[in-house]
Amino acid sequence: MCKNVLELDSKIRFAGVVNTKGVLINNLEQKGVEQYLSPDELKMSIHYSMWEWEKSQNLSHELGFERSSVLEYDKVTLISVPIDNSNLLVASIEPNEDFFKMIMKIKPLIQTAIEE
């Protein structure tokens, strides 16, 4: 799935799949992009994404389930999209890119992966 996500758009810097334990079970980076985070900082970023996802589930009985979340930083925009109840797709894109369009490109890939 990560390879397919990176192939969607050259502005996608990173794609990874995280399980409910916060473990990055698969990931790829776009070739030639500058890495901003060390491996430990990447783990911390994933932990925060999982924490946000878990928090959002507390309101799902009223609002429905989270479909995506976005964090914009100066250097990157982070996108999280739940794959199912136990996995989360995390991706980073170049700043100032249309994150909504990126999410709309990613969601069909997730749906296809779920169906397979």
pLDDT tens digits, 54-106: 777 778 888 888 889 999 999 999 999 999 878 999 999 999 999 999 999 99
Of 79, 101, 106, whose CA–CA distance to 90 is shortest? 79
Question: pLDDT tens-digit profile of 12-64?
Answer: 999 999 998 888 999 999 999 999 999 899 889 888 888 887 777 778 888 88
pTM: 0.87
Other CB atoms within 10 A of residue 72 CB? 12
Rounded Cα gap, residues 31 and 13, in angstroms: 8
CATH number (domain holding residue 57): 3.30.450.30
Q: Structural domain tally of the chain?
A: 1
Determine the structural domain holding residue 59 and report its residue range: 2-115
